[in-house]
Structure 1
Amino acid sequence: MSLQPRAFLASLFAAAVEAADPLAAIRAHLSEKPKGRTIVVGAGKAASQMAAAFESLWDGPLEGAVVARHGPIVDCKRIRVLQSAHPVPDEAGLEGSAELLRLVEGLTPDDLVVALVSGGGSSLLPAPPEGLTLADEIAVNRALLASGAPISAMNVVRKHVSRIKGGRLAFAAHPARVVSLIVSDVPGDNPAFVASGPTIPDLSTPQDALAIVARYGMVLPEAVMRHLVSDQAAAPRPDHSVFNNQTHHVIASAAVSLDAAAVTARALGVEAVILSDAIEGEARDIGRMHAAIARETALRGRPFQKPVVILSGGETTVTISGEGYGKGGRNSEFLLSFALDIDGVDGIHALAADTDGIDGSEDNAGAFADGTTVARMRAAGADPRDHLARHDAWTAFNASGDLFVPGPTGTNVNDLRALLIV
């Protein structure tokens, strides 16, 4: 067929991102205007885009602030955009958390708090409880990132080592009405897990957090372990009366974006199938699983008939082992493992990318791969198996010229994986 594989795959990514556009999603979920003040708070990789969209749609008075990651942001006129670090917290994040808590102080039942929450907010909002420091929270974050734990487990730990997560920001806003608009980046779209739920409580306990720490062999600072066995660690429960006047809406998610990518593929003449929007697991293992499906389809016409594009979403993990690691992220690591297992197979083309436009430590969203990728890496002097072992997928794809760099997208519904078999 005359299809240009990379252009086709990039068009699916664009469709997925467009489906998660904050402006259209927020327009469909605007609240009634309050008698009193309207306060906007929020955090996440899409924070500035969500804030700009909200203030463009809201024709009444408002004030507030959101916390975005360091880097390019969308300018806002009435909502201040603060910035802090991701994926490891910094001092600016402490100031951002303090400002959000200050904004919700002293409100009344006539006031409205609109919380704009998207993925990445866990790192952007450090707020260690009394007795702990930013260094302690950084240590927790580093241990979580290296553990291989799924995002849901990570955020159970985070919300019990915080003054703002686990529903505490909404708790502090009582008795105001709180409406949370959430762009989900977590498998299953549980709103309590997005950004560790600053406005959404859940039933997890400090004991659950301790069990996760033990299960994944994490070594946390002694002060953190003492905190987790103290009464102070317990987050407010969702059945607390404070939350009676609070609502939330998941306004964009991986499921919606995968559906949009599938519609685009079919419009271009290629059948599309969606494996799942909630795939978790070790990135390199999920890469091998996807490669097995792609090979079976390419060589035997099962379980799908070609031409077809196989789509999946969710959030894989990378467990850091050994003495160190190189450059890259979970999508690049997924795809390098995938590329090794389709080496030499004709008719398979793949894109794996983070919908926020940034995968891990560099400026790429992910990468492309096909049956020639591994050979081109080796021709350029890169050993793909060695790079995979050292969590250095970016370097391997940079050598082969296969990086995908669309730039920051202004939204975040997690990973998009698209396998085109022709």
Structure 2
Amino acid sequence: MDRALLNALFDEAVAKAQPELAVTRFLPAQPKGRTLVIGAGKASAQMAAALEKAWPGPIEGLVVTRYGYGQACERIEIVEAAHPVPDAAGLAAAKRIVDMVAGLSADDLVIALISGGGSSLLPAPADGLSFEDEQEINRQLLASGAPIGVMNLVRNQFSTIKGGRLAQAAYPAKVVTLVVSDVPGDDPALVASGPTLPLKGTRADARRFVELYRLDLPAAAIKLLASDENLAPQPDEAVFARNTSATIASAALSLEAAAALARQRGVESAILSDAIEGEAREVARVHAALAKEVAVRNRPFNKPVILLSGGETTVTLRGKGRGGRNGEFLLSLAIELDGVAGVTALAADTDGIDGSEDNAGAFVDGTSASRMRAAGIDPLAYLANNDAYTAFEAIGDLFVTGPTGTNVNDFRAILIR
């Protein structure tokens, strides 16, 4: 029963973030000239389908999404490519999008449909860098444990499309960016590395982050980073003056919807934050400490209660196991909650895929760690090897949804009876 309730809250959070409901509320006015749709991300195909259905005039364009996340469209072409490490399909799609926006007039409109995952789906290496260099940069960032803002600022230094460069290429056409946010704090320029929205930050900042997170970048990337070439545009430049953006779905809205459903089901909830960052295993320890405080001392919230949180944790790779950041969070949580009665938790990625595996997340309760040990799994050893997927697979507690059509980052719910 408790797992069914947590599952229902996840479904409600995902439903609130569905592009079909959100896109139509933010339609821009029709232009005198052409309407061109571009986009990238795990929710971009669903955004394109919703826009195509609602748009009253001629429309054309190309949107790239992750393999398996496609959606049938009649006038907007959908291309699938690799995530989280870019591939040749994404490279070709990025080039086609840049070519599409070239030569537009001030009477034309570009609608950019941007969601999480777009960073790897639009690879476009700067001059002097190979495609393999960009792939390696992405791998380094994914393994670094750096927060999304840092990763995107670094990525932007090595791209011809990220950091507002795509909108710069579309000038003088007006660019309207619609964003399904998967980043803590919902800064639209951070989603998908902001292809149409310039990000604050300098080349010097990027160099400092590369040193801080000990990124072992390719030689060509180090050379570019030391120069003043391929600098990203800044937000106050004139080419962006007519452009607008709107965040049409976010973790905050989804958590509020889940909290409302919990109250309807007779359980109070507390939204801890929609913007939690940090190492997944450390974030789990904080959540576990709070859950145990409620379970044992009935403070700072009265039982029964559901603790809700969102955001984007990170994983610093130490081992060679399988699983994403939600699995890492949950395995750490299972260790901390070992033997604690009356606590059930679900953590999952709202796009339906945690990392590169087939699960969205998993369930945890006070028996999870002991059941793992009974199955021959040492939770501490598997956490050390970043192998949460195998641990939860062994006890049958993976949470599998398939692609959800949206992406507003992590969803975490802990029920304390």
CA contact under 8 A between 1:160 and 1:205: conserved in structure 2? no
Listed as ranges, the matches of 1:218-257 within 5 Å are 218-257=215-254
Task: Show the 5 A alignment for 1:118-267.
Answer: 118-267=115-264
Question: For residue 380 of structure 1, what is the aligned residue in structure 2?
Answer: 375
- Report the 3-state secondary structure (helix = DSSP H, G, I; strand = E; otherwise coil) of the residue aligned with 2:104: coil
**Counterpart secondary structure, 1:278:** strand
The aligned counterpart of 1:34 is 31
Q: Which amino acid aligns with 1:38?
A: T
Show the counterpart of 1:268: 265
Corresponding residue pairs, total: 417
Alignment match, 2:65: 68
Where does residue 392 of structure 1 map in the other structure?
Answer: 387
- Find the counterpart in structure 1 of residue 363 from structure 2: 368
Letter in 2 for 1:45: K
Gaps of 5+ in 2: none
Secondary structure in 2 aligned to 1:237? coil
1:116 and 2:113 correspond:
yes
Specify the code of the residue in structure 2 equivalent to 1:262. Answer: A
CA displacement 1:63-103 (0-9 Å, x = unmatched): 10001011242111110011111111111111011011011
1:325 to 313, 320, 326: 320
One of 69, 77, 85 as aligned partner of 2:82: 85
Gaps of 5+ in 1: none
Deviations 1:167-224 (A, max 9, x none): 0000000000110000000001111100000000122111111111001111101110
Who is 1:8 aligned against?
A: 5
Please tell me the residue identity of whatever aligns with 2:180. V
CA distance in 1, matches of 2:45, 2:181: 16
SS of the aligned residue for 2:248 comes to strand
**SS of equivalent to 1:109:** coil
Is the 8 Å Cα contact of residues 40 and 62 (structure 1) preserved in structure 2? yes
* RMSD (Å), alpha carbons: 0.8
After superposing on structure 2, the runs of 4+ consecutive aligned residues of structure 1 that deviate more than 3 Å are none
1:245 Cα shift?
Answer: 1.2
C-alpha deviation, 1:23, in angstroms: 1.2
* Secondary structure, counterpart of 1:381 in structure 2: coil
Contact 1:283-1:334 at 8 Å conserved across structures: yes
Tell me, in whole angstroms, the C-alpha distance in 2 between the residues paired with 1:401 and 1:299: 28
The residue type paired with residue 406 of structure 2 is T
Q: How does 1:300-339 map to 2 (within 5 A)?
A: 300-321=297-318, 324-339=319-334
Kindly provide the amino acid, as one letter, of the partner of residue 352 in structure 1.
A
Match of 2:98 in 1: 101
- Partner AA of 2:286 in structure 1: M
1:11 aligned partner, one-letter code: A
Amino acid at match of 2:49: A
Determine if the alignment matches structure 1 residue 419 to structure 2 residue 414: yes
1:339-372 CA distances to partner (integer Å, 9 max, x unpaired)? 1111111100000000000001211000000001
Distance 1:63 1:228 in 2: 37
Which secondary structure does the structure 2 equivalent of 1:93 belong to? helix
- Say which SS state the counterpart of residue 163 (structure 1) adopts: coil
Whole-angstrom distance in 2 between the partners of 1:16 and 1:103: 35
CA-to-aligned-CA distance 1:16-57 (integer Å, 9 cap, x gap): 001101011111100100111000000001111111011011
Q: Distance in 1 between matches of 2:191 and 2:69?
A: 22
SS at match of 1:275: strand
Aligned mate of 1:280, from 266, 272, 277: 277
Which amino acid is 1:31 matched to? P
TM-superposed deviation, 1:233? 3.0
Measured against aligned partners, the alpha-carbon deviations of 1:93-115 in whole angstroms (never above 9, x if no partner) come to: 11011011011011001100000
Identity, % of aligned positions: 62
Paired letter, 1:144: L
**TM-score normalised by structure 2 residue count:** 0.99
The letter of the residue matching 1:406 is: T
